[in-house]
Structure 1
Amino acid sequence: MDAFALIAAGEDPSERMPDAVAELLELGLVVRDVREGHRLVPLNPRDVLRRRMMIEFGALDDCLSRMRSLPGTVLALEDAFERSQLHAGGRSEFIPDPVVVNARLQDVVGGAQFEILAAQPAGPRTKEHLEAGRGRDTDALERGVTLRTLYRATVRDNPVTAEHARMMANRPDGRSAEFRTLAEPFERAIIVDRRTAFISNTVVPGAHENSAWQITDGAFVAYVVSEFESRWKRADPWFGELRPRTGWPAVDTVSGAQGVRTTKEEREILRELCSGRDQKGAARQLGISLRTFNAKVAKLRELFDAESVPELTFKWALSPDRHVDDSEGGTAAAGEAGLSAA
């Protein structure tokens, strides 16, 4: 203010008050008249304020306009980005229609040159489904293609699947198929020649349960193969023999389970107890409160006449309930659409 008063009085305080003068020049309250030796000239502060307010309000209007347009712009870009993720370079393609999934699968499997790996956790298959694929599998074996199929252990109780495995694993002429079974859960996948993989959809919400992804990205396919091989090593070889039972009826998840006392939810709880998680972690995994979880465990202890949780898990491991396949599609109808080539 002192510097402005001096300038208004006709003096030049530049040497004594350089910072104050620089600030006045920046604000536009004074200017230098280049025609008169750069003399400092004061301007009417009211006029300067009016001009400055007009400039600032204009800048604010531009900023608000850009802010209003941002949501629409971002949504448009986000939609384009999401579409690109579903078809990333054509190497990971989401196929929503199970009919198209099967058509693609039949085409790729039919052209297999040296190997077909199939992880099929959906449980026993129908006789019609197995017979429909037997000719294709036999043709592949006769071309020298290696065919390895991983099933859930429940198929060892199913005569239809066992007969299919016996026929394909004990062919009198030429190469035979290989089968193994695994008690633990695993994801469905079919890998052909280690170049193309079909996996279940876990990305797109609300899609058909038999939709799938076709993967041709080399790194991704290699990872799927690695997961398959890891489970294959832990699985038990199977040549189609039915599992002997002593003490309880066989559990056939196609014809219907006999002697099973638990519900699907109760079996999920029991599997969580056997997984090594504590009760709090198991409850969180199942999406229920700890109080509800403990109440259901207490009911299961009563059902199995178990004095403790360790005794409960021991008796569950020896019960026919342990062998019921609750995986998605673990019924006779499962696998007739979607990832069901092997």
Structure 2
Amino acid sequence: MAQHQVRITSITTLFAGLDRMAAETSGGIVYFEDAAVANDMIARYMDTMRSHLYTAHPDARQSAQLKASIVRETRMLQRGIKMKTIYPDAARTRTAEREWARAASAHGAEVRTMVPNYVRMLVIDERCAIISDRDIGPAQPSSGYIITHPGMVRICTTFYRFLWDRAEPWMGERVRQISDTVTTGRGREILRKMEDGQTIDQMARVMGLSRGTINKEIKALYEATNTSSHFALGAWWGTTEERKLP
């Protein structure tokens, strides 16, 4: 199971390592640099959608974009399409995304949040997947892969379900008021990344912090949880109710 988890979580690296020239001509995988290309493909598949739509958004979404999408998605949900969406935990503090989550949930969509250690992705009916090829962090040009190869779409779907199982349900409520906890929000983010097997360097890059800050946070976690090793800290994290907090 541990080996399977490692393979699944390495899907971002897999796509980043694909040869782009080969991807442009290979069956079922097309590399794009212009978001309009992906949007055209999404529109084509959504017009003929039969069963479900899975999306994941690691970055903040604009209010105008959300207002336009909820109209389209409400019509889709009313047709009986199942929709699942993952947002970052920070979305719980943002008005536009809270309003979107409330409206979408009222029409039957399922929404969850988690620490954004994932890329933007969309899976339609297990027929098409759109995957960003950029890391989490500062904005970069819109680029990624349009995938229609059945086997690769199945892998993307499996990866999405893995994320979904780790995410926390959300129906648009405000950020939870948390008190008397051992961990901080940043500490929990680090613990989740440690759980995923990320190195200090990887965590520092993704979170925009220095190695020294990450090490200080880990030392603080040792003191707070009365542990003295990564193994003992991981064992504590695996049983605490605080892992359910954002």
Same fold by TM-score greater than 0.5: yes
Q: Of 152, 156, 173, which residue of structure 1 is paired with 2:88?
A: 152
**Counterpart Cα distance in 2 of 1:119 and 1:297:** 26
Query: Does the CA contact (< 8 Å) of 1:180 and 1:232 recur in 2?
Result: yes
1:106 Cα deviation from its structure 2 partner: 2.4
Partner secondary structure for residue 146 of structure 2: strand
TM-superposed deviation, 1:99: 2.1
Computed over aligned residues only, the root mean square deviation of the Cα atoms, in angstroms, reads 3.8
1:164 aligns with 2:100: yes
Equivalent of 1:115 in 52, 63, 66:
52
Match of 1:230 in 2: 162
2:173 maps to which residue?
241
Determine if contact 1:197/1:221 at 8 Å carries over to the other structure. yes
TM-score normalised by structure 2 residue count: 0.66
How far 1:145 moved relative to its partner? 0.8
Correspondence for 2:77: 141
Map of 1:260 onto structure 2 = none
Are 1:117 and 1:192, in contact at CA under 8 Å, matched by a contact in 2?
yes
Identity %: 23
- Contact 1:190–1:198, Cα closer than 8 Å, also in 2: yes
SS at match of 2:42: helix
Residues 120 and 152, structure 1, Cα contact 8 Å, conserved in 2:
yes
Aligned pair 1:282/2:200, yes or no?
yes
Deviation per CA, 1:242-263, whole angstroms, max 9, x where unpaired?
A: 123357xxxxxxxxxxxxxxxx
Match of 1:261 in 2: none
Paired AA for residue 158 in structure 1:
R
Give me the whole-angstrom Cα distance separating, in 2, the residues matched to 1:153 and 1:101.
Answer: 26
Bigger Cα Rg: 1
The answer for unaligned runs of 5 or more in structure 1 is 1-80, 248-266, 324-342
1:284 positional shift: 7.5
Count residues with an aligned counterpart: 200
Q: Deviations over 1:49-93 (max 9, x none)?
A: xxxxxxxxxxxxxxxxxxxxxxxxxxxxxxxx963343212x100
Q: d(CA) in 2 for partners of 1:160 and 1:236?
A: 19
Whichever residue aligns with residue 83 of structure 2, its letter is: L
Contact 1:94 1:214 (C-alpha < 8 Å) held by counterparts: yes
SS in 2 for 1:275: helix
Instruction: Assess, with a 3 A threshold, how the Cα gap between structure 1 residues 133 and 307 changes in structure 2: closer, same or farther.
Output: closer
CA distance in 2, matches of 1:85, 1:163: 38
| Among 223, 226, 241, the residue aligned to 1:311 | 223
Give the conservation status (yes or no) of the 8 Å contact 1:115–1:192.
yes
Matches within 5 A, 1:5-16: none
Give the alignment of 1:81-120 within 5 angstroms. 83-89=21-27, 91-120=28-57
How far, CA to CA, are the matches of 2:55 and 2:193 in structure 1? 27
Aligned in 2, Cα 1:234/1:147: closer, same or farther, shift over 3 Å? Answer: same
List runs of 5+ in structure 2 lacking aligned partners. Answer: 1-18, 180-185, 227-236, 238-244
Deviation at 1:149, TM superposition (A): 0.5
Q: What SS does the corresponding residue of 1:140 show, helix, strand or coil?
A: helix
Instruction: Give 1:153 shift.
Output: 1.3
Question: TM-score of the superposition, structure 1-length normalised?
Answer: 0.49
Q: Separation in 2 of the partners of 1:307 and 1:212?
A: 37
- Asked whether the 8 Å contact 2:33–2:141 carries over to 1, the reply is no
The answer as to whether partners of 1:151 and 1:179 remain within 8 angstroms in 2 is yes
2:153 maps to 221
2:103 partner letter: M
| Contact in 2 for aligned 1:181/1:236 (Cα 8 Å) | yes
2:158 partner SS? helix
Alpha-carbon shift at residue 297 of structure 1 (Å)? 5.8
Give CA deviations for 1:191-222 in whole Å, capped at 9, x if unaligned.
0010100001259xxxx631121000111100
Q: Match of 2:53, as an amino acid? A: I
2:141 corresponds to = 209
User: Which residue matches 2:190?
Assistant: 271
Separation in 2, partners of 1:202, 1:238: 26
CA contact (8 A) 2:23 2:31 kept: no
